[in-house]
Structure 1
Amino acid sequence: MQGTVRSFDPETRSGTVLLDDGTELPYDAAAFDASGLRLLRFGQRVRLRVAGEGAQQRVTFLTIATLPDPR
């Protein structure tokens, strides 16, 4: 799954991504830390893994779209 960074707070290492269908999903520090990245920029394309369904969806991992998924 891919999306676009909508927000990123470097102090909390959390933010939100906008999926291609317009859905906005939050991500927490654990999802960001799993990426090994140092920062994200507004508008940056990312690839992500999501757990849960519907309103319970949450981002568990995200990385820059051009980087390989370590899975």
Structure 2
Amino acid sequence: MQGTVSAYDPEARSGQLLTDEGMPMDFGAATLAEHIRHLRVGQRVFVETEGATITAIKIWN
């Protein structure tokens, strides 16, 4: 699935995104792919989930 970052705390490396289906989802630092050094509000991301939980966030390389 894909989504857009709606909030991001760079110190905690956590935040919230809005999926293309319109569902807000919180994410923690453990979900960010290793190649992600920072995110910005409005950035598009790929999201992997298990149920309602985000398991991984990736950006276009």
- Normalised to the residue count of structure 1, the TM-score between the two structures is 0.79
Report runs of 4+ in structure 1 exceeding 6 Å deviation: none
Aligned counterparts, 1:1-71, within 5 A: 1-32=1-32, 35-36=33-34, 37-52=36-51, 57-64=52-59, 66-67=60-61
Decide which structure has the larger Cα Rg and report it.
1
What is the number of equivalent residue pairs in this alignment?
A: 60
Give the CA deviation at 1:25. 0.4
Q: What are the ranges of 5 or more consecutive residues in structure 2 without an aligned counterpart?
A: none
Give the CA deviation at 1:21. 1.4
Find the residue that maps to 1:3 and give its secondary structure.
strand
Relative to total residues, which structure has the larger helix share, 1 or 2?
1
Q: What are the ranges of 5 or more consecutive residues in structure 1 without an aligned counterpart?
A: none
- Normalised to the residue count of structure 2, the TM-score between the two structures is 0.90
Instruction: Give the CA RMSD over aligned residues.
Output: 0.9
Relative to total residues, which structure has the larger strand share, 1 or 2?
2
| Percent identity (aligned) | 43
Give the CA deviation at 1:9. 0.5
Find the residue that maps to 1:18 and give its secondary structure.
strand
